[in-house]
Amino acid sequence: MSAIKLIVGLGNPGASYQATRHNVGERWVRELAQRFAIPLASETKFKGDIGRGDILGHDVRLLVPTTYMNLSGDSVGAVQRFFKIPPQSILVVYDEMAFVPGVVRLKQGGGDNGHNGIKSVRSGLGNNPDFMRLRIGVGHPGSPSKVTSYLTQQAMPVDERIEVERCTTLDDGLLDNILQGNWQQAMNVLHATGES
């Protein structure tokens, strides 16, 4: 497996989206940047906030696209091409309605499962689906007609946010395995725990 060189957090730009379920990926990457003191700066040519730093001895770039979710690939593709990062060395963090809050899963490649951000990232990488994913459960509203409002217009309830933060605060050992590309070990640990 390839070591991770770029971690991307998906979300929508603007204050009105910050606390929504659709922005859990963005929040996760911004918190990671804070945890390891990696400043994120706005870069117009990359259509995003980007930074580079040391995470547990690994040289990693962090990216939060400042495009809307369905155009995330414009940002990810620009960074990937400029720094010549193989798709297999990119980890994309995003919300997953198939899982309840408190469930987090790693995945290598695959389809977009109807997620517009992932669809756009795949397109931005030349239709290459082989990037890695960290999927954060946000639950489902029960009806397809309620999905847009559920994801983008409602602030995530406090109890759900606490649950998501609890299960996405990865310890150093697990994070190190992910960054090294020790995917199977990381999946075994993350997927075996009771909360994920």
Q: In what order do the strands lie in the sheet with 132-137?
A: 41-43, 48-55, 58-65, 6-9, 90-96, 132-137, 104-108
CA distances for 184 relative to 49, 56, 106, 156, 190, angstroms: 30, 19, 10, 31, 10
Nearest-angstrom CA–CA distance, 74 and 136? 22
Selected catalytic residue, list 22, 115, 140, 191: 22
The phi and psi torsions of 50 (rounded to 5 degrees) equal -135, 150
Q: Which two tokens stand for residue 155?
A: 């602030």
The yes-or-no answer on residue 115 being catalytic is no
Q: Which residues are the active-site residues?
A: 22
